[in-house]
Amino acid sequence: MIDKIIAYEQGELDEEGTIELFQELVNNGMAWTLQGHYGRTAQSLLEANVITRADGTYITPEGECRG
């Protein structure tokens, strides 16, 4: 995980790698404990339905949680 975070911070992850990283960070809860950028980015990806919540649910365009 640390290697992926370092690669992300150095701009070495492609779009797919970045999405995978943020999905992992949401799944294990780290997105909400790392510096604010990670939580904000995770929230943006959740709202865009690019990634899902840890429980597999997603956010509708109306802001509702569905699964």
Task: Please state, in angstroms and as integers, the Cα–Cα distance from residue 55 to each residue in 23, 28, 58, 66, following that order.
Answer: 11, 11, 9, 10
Q: Is the pLDDT at 65 greater than 80, yes or no?
A: no
Residue predicted with more confidence, 63 or 57: 57
Q: Give the span between the Cα atoms of 21 and 61, in whole angstroms.
A: 23
> Region 4-14: what's the mean pLDDT?
98
Percent of the chain with pLDDT over 70: 93
- Global model pTM greater than 0.95: no
**Of 63, 9, 59, residue with least CA distance to 34:** 9
Instruction: Look up the domain containing 31 and give its range.
Output: 2-66
Tally of domains in the chain: 1
Q: Give the span between the Cα atoms of 65 and 17, in whole angstroms.
A: 25
Residue pointed to by tokens 């790392």: 34
